Each structure stands twice: as C-alpha cells, then as structure tokens.
C-alpha cells in the first residue's frame, strides 16, 4: 500500500525525544531548542497588533509563493552584510529552512544521484533527501570542518555527484566551524568538478568568539551555491520562516516546487518577522542571545571536563547549539541512551547523523535549550553513567 | 543539473495570474481568493494579544510535528459533526491542505503507480503528485460528480491503482457536488478494489442550499479514506493551517514525512485558529460568509445568462468558489485568455485541470474573490468577447 520510501524513514529520534522533554523530570540534551528566554514576546505582541491594525485582512489572505516582498528585501540586506550581494528576487521565503531541504531534493535529486555530505551531518537533511533515493557519500571532517582533500577523493570515487550538503558554521551535530581557507577551496572545487553546494547556515549568527567567517556563497563565482537559512535561531522557530537564496535559474525552480508543496509560507508570520527586523536591532538581540548560549556552552564544557572519564573526547564549539562526544569504540550510545533515560537524562545517539550508519560510540549534546543549573546536573549524571560503563567495559 | 521532475512542472497559471491581480485594472476570475471582507480581523487582533499574554514564548518555540493538541481536539469535534468519529491522534496539522497533498504523494506514490482523479481535477493536486512520477487516469464526471461506473472501468483498465483523488464538495474546478449515493458507492468500490481514497474537502462548509452531504470518509469501513481539509476557506488562508485525518497506521506515515518536510506547522498560527474556534461561533461566521459567496455566484450566473452566447454551457454550483464553462470545441481558451487579458479580464484556461491535457475549450471562473459589481463588469466583457469569437468561428 505505501510507497517504498516509507521504509527508509524512522521517526526522528530528536523529535521523539522532544516528546520526552514534555515530561518535566527529564533533562534533555536531545532537542535543538533555542533559549525561550531570548524570544521577543512583548515586541511580537506589539507587532501583531500593528500588522492587524495597518494591513488588516491582507495579512490573512493568500499571497505569492516567492514570499512577502518586504521580508525578501530585509533578507537581501542581511545577506549583503555577510558579503552575499544579490537581488531580492533571488530570495525565496521557505517554511523554515527544513523546507529549503525538501525543495532542494525536489529540484535536484534523481534516484541514484550522489549527495556528498559531512560525516556526520544534519539528521533532518538526511531525512529530507532520502525519500528521493539518492546515494550518500560521507566526507571526513576535522576540527576545521569538511576536509577538502577528502572531498576530492569522494568526487573521484563517486559518479553522478549532484550536490554537496554542508553546514559550515557550528555544524549540527558537531559544532565545528569550517575554516576560511576551506570555504574558498570548496567553492573552487565545486567549479572544477561541476556540482551544486547546498550551504545550510542556520547557526552563523550564534558566534561566541566574534570571528564571523564569510559564507561559502560569498566565494561563489558561478551561481552554484544555494544558501539556506532561517529566523528560527535568531528570532524564534515556532513561526517557521526561513529562506533560500540562489541564482535566478535555480531559485525559479524552487518557487515552482514551493507552489505544489504548501503554496506559500504563512503570510502573517512573514510580516511579523519583517516588522521585527524593521523596528528592532536584531544584531543587539542576537548579541544578548549569544551571551546566554555561551554561558551554557561553558557550563557544559566545564562539567564535562570535571565529570566525564578521560577516554571520552568532545568538540569545543565557538558557536551554535551543539557539541559532539566520541566515546571509546566499545560503548554503544543506543544502549547507553536507555540507561541514561532511566536516570532522567536524554541525548541523541550519534549514529543517527551518519547516512550510511555506524559510529555507534558517538552522541550529540544540545546546550542551548537548558538552564546552566540543569546542564550541570544532567551532565554530571551522564558523567557518572559513563564512568560506570567504562569501568565495566 | 536539475532533477528530471523539473521538466514536468510549469508555473501554476493560477499563481501567475495572482501576480496579475496585483494590477488594480485587471478583473481576475483566475484566482481562488476567499472574500477578504469575511476575515475576522478584529477577533484575531484580540487573539494574538491573548496568546502572547497567556502562552508567551511557548507560542514561539518549536513544537511537535503532529500539531498543537488543542487544535487537534477542536478538529476532532468538527469532524464528529460531519459524521467522522475519530480520535485526535488520527489528526495531523498540515501547512495548508496543499501540504496534505505533498505528504500524500510521499506516503503513497511509487513511480508508475496509477492515480485516479476526476476529469477535470484540482490543478495543484496534479502539481503535488507529478514530482513523484505517477500515471494519471481520469474518471468522467457528470453533474452529480464522479461517475462510479466510469471509475470501475478505469479500475479494470489500469494496473497499480494506488489511490483515487477526489474533491466531492463543490469541486475545484467545476463546482460540482457528488451525490450521496455516489459517496457511499465509491467507498464500497475502494473496499472491493483495494485502493486508498484521498478525499480533499476544503469547500464543504461553503454550502448555499443547506444540503450538506456526509463526507466519503463517513462511509469508510476499512480505514482507507484519507480526509484532507483546511481553515483557508472558513477562517483565512494566509495562516496556512490545514489537516489530514486518517487511520493510525496511515497518519503515522504522514507524520514521519512531515518531519522532513517542514518539521511542524507554524505553532502560533495553530494557536490562533484553536483560540478562534474556542472563542467564536465558527458556524455563524461561515453562515455570513456563505451569504457573500451566494450573492456573488448569483451575480455571476445572472450575468453569464444575459451575456454569454447560447452555445456556451456552464455549471451552477450550490457552493464553493468556482464554476466551469465549456465553450464550443473550436474555441481555444489559451488563445482567448490573451485577448481577454487585453480587455482587462483574467480566468484560468481549463486544460490546466486535466492531467493528461486536452479540453482546450474549457475555463474556470472564480466568483468568491470579487465584488458583485466587478463580477458583472468582468463577465459582461467576457461575454462580449465570446460573442465576437463565436461569430468569427
């Protein structure tokens, strides 16, 4: 009865864990929730009132698939600040950047095409692409992100490479930031080997050390980088407002599939974000968010340092929301998760982030969505468990 | 570079026409806009304020893919009023009912599967399904909707029939309502021939003659009807809030693909609709909308009667937003549309609604989105043009 692709997908462990977080007693490092304390609630209250007062029924009507012109113009400006100079016509408003991934699959992927991605990569990108039956070829990373030499090896080994999917800033799940040299190198490799780069960049603003690197798209000389981003991490995720930016020949295809996918993104929500950008200083808002996230990262790193066994290694992200833990090979985090849940602590097992499986000894920890107190408590419990596990092993 | 499926889609003519409607001088019967006068603007102004006051940051946070529990419960009650008795767990909130179609394709369609549909059928359903490479087999209609005998013929002729897509109430594009007997018969045929029915029912509440027929799903004895609907036509379309209702084994698959498609529907928008349903009498609201739509339909039918040449036939819908015009075979509405636009009137050429093409002599007219004055003016212009065309032919 069902399509074959239904066999390819399992329920997102992150989402299933989100349901767990509904239970107050669980300390969940599994989700990817931005800090609620940072949401501009009172500002939105004013904004909603203003939109309904000024635009009335128009804000509730059907709208064009491309998105609200005012918001596209705001985004054009934001992109310019990052060194990406485009027209607002090159921007499509998407229903979160997750929809950017779904549209990417529809626009580019034929069955059997090769998708290159970091190893590990964003779980929900795998789930967005898989229904279109690509092959995944994973590219090794190090602390500076995707390794260009490894990318070239994969290009030589694989046929039908359609696209590279990459999260250069504070990658989900590892928290790693790709170096400036590599960004430039990868844009050049794409020109040489003729493939598309999907640059998924939701976390770039959440930068802790003030070293903001230019996006890969700023090195795009041939219109072959599709840039995806979102307001989920800078304003709020519940409104599901993101965008895709690409050259006109590409973005027009995205618009075409957007029509059959959900016609257009919530028009009121687009107006809410646009008015927020116009009325308030989003950079100041982000700076205060970043303080929260940085403190939480510090709390997590400090507690890991104090409580995790020596054999455990982990990343030290300079931004974003996640860090990545590698345990000795004999530990299986799927088994560990069950034990951990019994003690009231959740995380995501790392194997979920490898499209071709394996790496059972890894896990992703989120530090953005919990108070420092909870982070310290939860990480200490996890450290205790890990010590027991490793002394047993 | 692009996937093969990009060749299958053309820009939706309705959407392209929507852009035209931006120009004030065009009278467009091409769109499918609900009457803006009917939107509950002041009510929403209160509601936004209350949600942000009562729920604050929670209304801006990530949420579960299934949808806001309160809204799912409201919908369960609405479904019960239609004779569909389900649990709220059988309901998934979708980003408009358009997303219900995209998810339907993902859940059910393998390349080469047969989709049965009314002839003509909803343009954007064709566009949602096509990227997954089904074959379409069109089933004849008459004034009582899809003809069951024709459905059986198609079932005998075609292999791999996966699903029947049908819009039983005031179908887009014809405005026809399927008779009670046929609803029952089609549910039985699905049991006998083992296929899924996608019952797309956005217009059922927009009923002019007070004869509300039970949905096909109310005759579903084997859990094989997926019911799709939306608040676009009863509250407002800009918020993109719809739903899918199906048996647990099916709805779980929809949820799985929803995660990779846009994670979840705008949470604030779900709360807006839920609170609207709780605070206000939606049935009273719909009754007043229906008065507007009925008057507009009357204005359109009256003017057609007075101004269209005798050879032209058309439907007389008892609800919904559209009527369907059939011209003599020698008239090509694609050619006609260009002439009509020059005189400031737009419509959608009917051939767009036939997945296998043809029927160049048909057109769809929308009556919900324009004032009676504009309807009378625009239809008169169209009538004049048709008279000239037919006297030339």
Residues B54, B181 share a domain: yes
Residues A212, A111 share a domain: yes
Structure token digits, residue B230: 């939306």
Q: How far apart are CA B204 and CA B213, in angstroms?
A: 8
Chain B CB within 8 Å of residue A222 CB: no
Which tens digits make up the pLDDT trace of A326-376? 999 999 999 999 899 999 999 999 999 999 999 999 999 999 999 999 999
**Helix pair B41-54, B267-279: axis angle to 10 deg:** 110
Q: Where are the beta strands (DSSP E) in chain B?
A: 27-28, 91-94, 114-119, 135-142, 145-146, 161-166, 196-200, 225-230, 242-245, 313-314, 322-326, 345-346, 348-349, 362-366
Contacts A19 to B, Cβ<8 Å? 64
Q: For chain B, list residues with pLDDT below 50.
A: none
CA neighbours closer than 13 Å in the CB half-sphere of residue B240: 31
Residues A351, A238 share a domain: no
| Last residue within a domain, chosen from B232, B259, B279 | B279
Residues B180, B169 share a domain: yes
- Between B9, B64, B124, which is nearest A15 by CB? B64
Scan for tokens 């499926």, then name that residue.
B5
Scan for tokens 């058309």, then name that residue.
B314
DSSP string, B298-315: HHHHHHHHHHS-TT-EE-
Judged by CB atoms within 8 Å, which residues 154-183 of A form the interface with B?
Answer: 162
Chain B CB within 8 Å of residue A254 CB: no
Across the A/B interface, how many CB contacts are shorter than 8 Å?
235
Nearest CA in chain B to A67: B238
Judged by DSSP in three states, A107 sits in helix
Determine the residue among A259, A267, A272, A366 to mutate to test chain B binding: the one whose Cβ has the most chain B Cβ atoms within 10 Å: A259
Structure token digits, residue B329: 């075979």
Q: Where are the beta strands (DSSP E) in A83-195?
A: 91-94, 114-119, 135-142, 145-146, 161-166
Determine which helix (DSSP H) or strand (DSSP E) holds A226, and give its type and residue range. strand A225-230
Exposure pattern of B5-44 as b/e (b: 16+ CB <10 Å)? Answer: bbeebeebbbbebbeebeeeebbbbbbbbbbbebbbbebb
- 8 Å CB contact between A310 and A357: no
Residues A387, A298 share a domain: yes
| Last residue within a domain, chosen from B279, B308, B333 | B279
Chain B CB within 8 Å of residue A271 CB: no
| pLDDT score recorded for residue B15 | 55
Q: How far apart are CA B269 and CA A267, in angstroms?
A: 10
Exposure pattern of A78-96 as b/e (b: 16+ CB <10 Å)? Answer: bbeebebebebebbbbbbb
Contacts A266 to B, Cβ<8 Å? 95, 238-240, 266, 269
Positive or negative, the Cα torsion across B79, B85, B89, B90? negative
Contacts A262 to B, Cβ<8 Å? 95-96, 98-99, 102, 240, 262
- Return the number of other C-beta atoms located less than 10 Å from residue B110's C-beta: 14
| pLDDT score recorded for residue B12 | 60
For the domain that residue B145 is a member of, what is the CATH number?
3.40.640.10
Residues B246, B204 share a domain: yes
The CA radius of gyration of chain A, in Å to the nearest whole number, is 21
Cβ separation B267–A4 shorter than 8 A: no
Chain A CB within 8 Å of residue B13 CB: no
Residues B328, B195 share a domain: no
Total domains present in chain A: 2
| pLDDT score recorded for residue A23 | 59
Determine the residue among B16, B37, B52 to mutate to test chain A binding: the one whose Cβ has the most chain A Cβ atoms within 10 Å: B52
Q: How far apart are CA A375 and CA A300, in angstroms?
A: 6
Q: For chain A, list residues with pLDDT below 70.
A: 11-24, 393
- Between A132, A260, A268, which is nearest B128 by CB? A260
Q: Is the peptide bond before B173 cis (omega within 30 degrees of 0)?
A: yes
Residues B125, B266 share a domain: yes
Contacts A107 to B, Cβ<8 Å? 2-3, 6
Cβ separation A15–B109 shorter than 8 A: no
Which of B78, B25, B126 lies closest to B356, judged by CA? B126
DSSP A55: T
Which of A120, A187, A177, A164 lies closest to A353, judged by CA? A120
Residues A330, A265 share a domain: no
Nearest CA in chain B to A102: B261
Residues in chain A, total: 393
Q: What strands lie across the sheet with B313-314, from one edge to the other?
A: B313-314, B322-326, B362-366, B348-349
Contacts A52 to B, Cβ<8 Å? 41-42, 44-45, 48
Which tens digits make up the pLDDT trace of A376-389? 999 999 999 999 99
- 8 Å CB contact between B391 and B373: no
Say what the alpha-carbon torsion angle A292, A298, A304, A310 is, to the nearest 10 degrees. Answer: 150
Helices and strands in chain B: count of H runs, count of E runs? 12, 14
Residues A317, A221 share a domain: no
Q: How far apart are CA A297 and CA A311, in angstroms?
A: 21
Contacts B242 to A, Cβ<8 Å? none
Q: Are strands A145-146 and B145-146 parallel, antiparallel or unpaired?
A: unpaired
For the domain that residue A339 is a member of, what is the CATH number?
3.90.1150.10
| Last residue within a domain, chosen from A238, A263, A279 | A279
- 8 Å CB contact between B138 and B93: no
Cβ separation B62–A33 shorter than 8 A: yes
- Return phi, psi of residue B241, to 5°: -120, 115
- Rama region for B320: left / alpha / beta (φ>0; ψ in -120 to 50; rest): left
Q: How far apart are CA A266 and CA A236, in angstroms?
A: 14
Cβ-Cβ contacts under 8 Å for B194 (sequence gap 6 or more) = none
Q: How far apart are CA A74 and CA B161, in angstroms?
A: 47
| pLDDT score recorded for residue B391 | 87
Q: How far apart are CA B380 and CA B386, in angstroms?
A: 10
Q: How far apart are CA A24 and CA A7, in angstroms?
A: 33
Residues B379, B350 share a domain: yes
Contacts B65 to A, Cβ<8 Å? 15
Cβ separation A61–B33 shorter than 8 A: yes
Residues A49, A28 share a domain: no
Calculate the CA A48 to chain-centre distance.
28
Domain of residue B326, residue span: 4-40+284-392
């Amino acid at each position: 009865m069902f399509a074959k692709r239904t066999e390819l997908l399992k329920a997102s462990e992150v989402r299933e864990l989100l349901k767990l977080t509904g239970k107050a007693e669980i300390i969940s490092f599994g989700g990817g929730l931005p800090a609620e304390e940072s949401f501009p609630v009172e500002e939105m209250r004013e904004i909603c009132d203003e939109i309904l007062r000024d635009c009335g029924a128009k804000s509730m009507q059907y709208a064009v698939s491309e998105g609200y012109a005012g918001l596209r113009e705001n985004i054009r400006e934001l992109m310019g600040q990052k060194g990406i100079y485009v027209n607002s016509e090159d921007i499509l408003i998407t229903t979160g950047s997750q929809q950017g991934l779904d549209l990417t699959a529809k626009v580019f992927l034929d069955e059997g095409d090769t998708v290159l991605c970091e190893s590990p990569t964003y779980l929900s990108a795998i789930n967005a692409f898989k229904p279109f039956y690509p092959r995944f070829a994973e590219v090794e990373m190090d602390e500076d992100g995707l390794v260009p030499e490894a990318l070239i090896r994969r290009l030589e080994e694989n046929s039908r490479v359609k696209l590279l999917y990459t999260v250069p800033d504070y990658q989900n799940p590892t928290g790693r930031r790709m170096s400036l040299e590599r960004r430039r190198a990868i844009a050049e490799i794409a020109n040489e080997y003729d493939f598309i780069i999907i640059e998924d960049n939701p976390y770039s603003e959440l930068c802790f050390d003030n070293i903001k690197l230019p996006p890969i798209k700023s090195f795009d000389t041939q219109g072959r980088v599709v840039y995806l981003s979102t307001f989920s991490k800078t304003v709020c995720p519940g409104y599901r407002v993101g965008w895709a930016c690409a050259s006109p020949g590409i973005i027009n295809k995205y618009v075409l599939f957007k029509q059959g996918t959900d016609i257009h993104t919530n028009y009121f929500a687009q107006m809410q974000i646009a008015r927020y950008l116009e009325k308030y200083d989003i950079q100041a808002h982000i700076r205060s968010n970043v303080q929260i996230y940085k403190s939480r990262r510090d709390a997590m790193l400090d507690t890991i340092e104090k409580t995790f066994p020596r054999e455990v290694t982990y990343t030290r992200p300079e931004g974003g929301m996640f860090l990545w833990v590698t345990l000795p090979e004999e530990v299986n985090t799927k088994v560990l998760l069950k034990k951990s849940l019994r003690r009231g602590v959740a995380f995501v097992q790392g194997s979920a982030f490898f499209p071709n499986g394996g790496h059972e000894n890894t896990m992703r920890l989120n530090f953005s969505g919990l108070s420092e107190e909870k982070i310290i408590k939860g990480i200490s419990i996890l450290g205790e468990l890990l010590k027991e596990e490793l002394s047993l092993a």
